[in-house]
Amino acid sequence: MGIHWFILSAAAVIIIQGWVFRRFGLKRLAYARTFSVSRCFEGDRIEMIERLTNRKALPVPWLRVESMLHTGLKFENVFNFDVSNGQFYQNHKSLFSLLGFKQLTRRHAVQCVQRGCYRLTGASLTYGDLFGLFRSWETVPLQEELIVYPQPADRSQLQLPSRSWQGDITVRRWIVEDPFYVTGVRNYQAGDSLKSINWNATARAGKLQVHRRDFTADFRIIVLLNVEDHAGMWQVVNNTELIEQGIRLAAGFVQFAAEQGLETGFASNGHDLDTPGVPVITTMSSGSDHMLYLFERMAKLVISSATPFDLLLAQLADQLDDSCDIVIVSAFMNEKMELAVDRLRSDGHGVEWMPLSARAGDAA
């Protein structure tokens, strides 16, 4: 008779504890996942931080957290963490056990092996009782974003155009006089503004003298990236690594231009992650903040053609009012693109082509 009571009591305990853990196990339980930084460069090592907080007396016998991330984030020194890698995405699982009114924080080393925008939108929590007989689950929403900038190409890989890329230097060509560049004085000529008169020099010379101003290079650069890896391509890119190399080259040009104080823009027939079907065209500006803004647009660039590249060139020809230097990073140059380039040059823009085909081996 005693053994039956023991079996019934054990069964009752198992059922009751299962009901308790199922009913209250996920109550006052908080899970959060963040990155140690919000912005970094391709190749950098950062941390992904998991934090589990139990705000009740009932312990957490076991809790499994599952989520998906892109393979562009490579986890290192995995401990209490299981990663199943696919071609583009990886499924990772974390296993927790926590007493009541405790908090557990785990830090995972991550290498950012590919530029991109990585978003954590949710995680699946699976919770069980002491004996593993009962379990319940729920999805926890997450709002975390990591921007991985492309690593700018080494300066030795850049073929610098001959016009504006030399920065703040004087050149003698058709550009208007720069009011900030005073190189001396000269005799007054008909048509000179009275504001340009140098009165001290006039007093010394006994006749009207005006400031002599020099000419400066125009500080406008736009880098164009063609995401088409071969002529006749439509949307589907075969050699994505070749285009990734092109993105690094474009970032290298933007970085160099920013260091020289030049106004810089970026455009591509690829589209932004958040605006499918619309080519990327940025405004022109200068400074380190604008450089990082362009890097972020490159990080979010999807390698898929939103429009043929020759149409993008024609669109820019209609929009560009002032002359600027244009660098085209492309794997090829066809007849339609050459016609668009000829139009840009006839409008007074300097155009340089940076071919990608010769650098395919470097990207491999």
State the DSSP code for 282. Answer: P
Rounded to whole angstroms, how far apart are CA atoms 130 and 134?
Answer: 9
Which residues is 7 bridged to in the sheet? Answer: none
> Alpha carbon 295 to chain centroid distance?
5
DSSP letter (8 states) at residue 216: B
Per-residue confidence in pLDDT tens, the chain, 364 aa: 578 777 777 777 777 777 877 778 788 999 999 999 999 999 999 999 999 999 999 999 999 999 999 999 999 877 767 788 777 889 888 999 999 999 999 999 999 999 999 999 999 999 988 887 778 888 999 999 999 999 999 988 887 655 545 544 344 333 444 444 445 677 877 766 666 788 887 888 888 887 665 444 456 899 999 999 988 776 678 899 999 999 999 999 999 999 888 899 999 999 999 999 999 999 999 999 999 999 999 999 999 999 999 999 999 999 988 888 899 999 999 999 999 999 999 888 889 999 997 444 443 3
pTM of the model: 0.80
Cα separation, 172 vs 38, in Å, equals: 45
Q: Which domains does the chain have, with CATH numbers?
A: 2-149 (2.60.40.10), 155-169+218-363 (3.40.50), 177-215 (no CATH)
Q: Helix, strand, coil % (nearest 5) of the chain?
A: 30, 40, 30
